[in-house]
């Protein structure tokens, strides 16, 4: 990767086993890693290889501990390997000590498996909000160079409404510095919405997403895109069997329906953007921000 110039835009994959995560949510044993994860990641690698683009894979500790061979292979192919928490517990469900312990464990597992330092962290379900901004100090204390967990939108479950959407180096209350690489948002229907991954990304037309990426380029900011292995799966997402009770199954069916809506478009959108723009992993862009940007003081919670 050393001979490649720093990319203009950033491509990331949150590598988690959704069946294990949802088993935990439904208070069941997570069980072994799903074989679908390896299969879906092969499709991710194929799309990235055809587009000749490298990405950052934010991997959970459970995946790293179960299949270190996969991380070693992804790193050998030139992809950056970062951390995505141990078992996908949101930051808001943890006390600072618990987060510190889980980040240290995950970082060790990911680095041992990939054979490279893990510079970046992404919180599960973008769980760094105004009320959990303290987590950035823990992320910096654990040795990460950058974080990419802030979604600068107002949302019921996640988001830091009013947060600067541009990547910046922040001086934290602890005195440590950390680069924040927020996920890209855009204005639609009179408000800011996530445009670079998730439900809106799957619903927007390719042209709308392309315009958002071009706008980022004009503003001199990276378009920070995220996707998931299951969005590259040949089969529809289905976890209704994990939910208990009639209401639980009804809710699970609705969630599966929303997740599958536009899901099959994702590989094509990623491939198209990677062909049209200069995408790459987050690490090199974060290092540019660290070395050339001015330092900002982190805002206080509202």
The site for Zn ion (CB under 5 A) is made up of 14, 16, 124
Q: Nearer to Zn ion by C-beta: 61 or 124?
A: 124
CB of 270 to Zn ion, least distance (A): 17
CB of 90 to Zn ion, least distance (A): 10
What is d(CA 49, CA 197) in angstroms, rounded to the nearest whole number?
A: 20
What is d(CA 178, CA 127) in angstroms, rounded to the nearest whole number?
A: 17
The residue whose Cβ lies closest to Zn ion is 14
Element (H, E) at 194: strand 191-194
What is d(CA 123, CA 85) in angstroms, rounded to the nearest whole number?
A: 6
Contact 253, 240 (CB under 8 A): yes
What is d(CA 118, CA 73) in angstroms, rounded to the nearest whole number?
A: 15
CB of 217 to Zn ion, least distance (A): 27
CB of 64 to Zn ion, least distance (A): 14
What is d(CA 130, CA 26) in angstroms, rounded to the nearest whole number?
A: 27
Q: Nearer to Zn ion by C-beta: 14 or 137?
A: 14
CB of 278 to Zn ion, least distance (A): 26
Q: Nearer to Zn ion by C-beta: 16 or 137?
A: 16
CA angle 140, 143, 146 (to 5 degrees): 60
Q: Nearer to Zn ion by C-beta: 19 or 169?
A: 19
Q: Nearer to Zn ion by C-beta: 51 or 125?
A: 125
């Amino acid at each position: 990767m050393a001979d490649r110039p720093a990319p203009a835009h950033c491509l990331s994959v949150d590598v988690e086993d959704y069946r294990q995560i949802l088993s935990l949510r439904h208070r069941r044993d997570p069980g072994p890693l799903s074989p679908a994860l390896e299969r879906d990641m092969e499709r991710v690698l194929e799309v990235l290889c055809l587009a000749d683009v490298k990405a950052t894979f934010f991997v959970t500790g459970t995946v790293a501990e179960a299949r270190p061979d996969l991380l070693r292979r992804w790193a050998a192919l030139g992809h950056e390997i970062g951390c995505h928490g141990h078992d996908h517990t949101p930051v808001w469900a943890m006390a600072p000590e618990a987060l510190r312990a889980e980040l240290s464990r995950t970082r060790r597992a990911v680095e041992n498996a990939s054979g490279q330092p893990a510079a970046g962290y992404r919180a599960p379900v973008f769980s760094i909000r105004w009320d959990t901004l303290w987590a950035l100090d823990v992320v910096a204390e654990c040795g990460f160079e950058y974080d990419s967990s802030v979604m600068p939108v107002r949302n019921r479950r996640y988001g830091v409404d009013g947060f600067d959407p541009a990547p910046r180096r922040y001086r934290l209350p602890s005195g440590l510095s950390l680069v924040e690489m927020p996920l890209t948002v855009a204005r639609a229907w009179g408000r800011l919405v996530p445009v670079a991954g998730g439900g809106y990304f799957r619903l927007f037309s390719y042209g709308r997403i392309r315009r958002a990426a071009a706008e980022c380029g004009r503003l001199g900011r990276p378009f920070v895109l995220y996707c998931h292995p299951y969005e590259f799966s040949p089969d529809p997402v289905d976890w209704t069997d994990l939910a208990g009770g009639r209401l639980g199954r009804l809710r699970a069916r609705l969630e599966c329906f929303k997740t599958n809506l536009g899901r099959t478009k994702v590989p094509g959108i990623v491939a198209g953007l990677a062909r049209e723009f200069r995408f790459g992993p987050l690490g090199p862009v974060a290092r540019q921000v660290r070395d050339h940007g001015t330092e900002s003081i982190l805002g206080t919670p509202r």
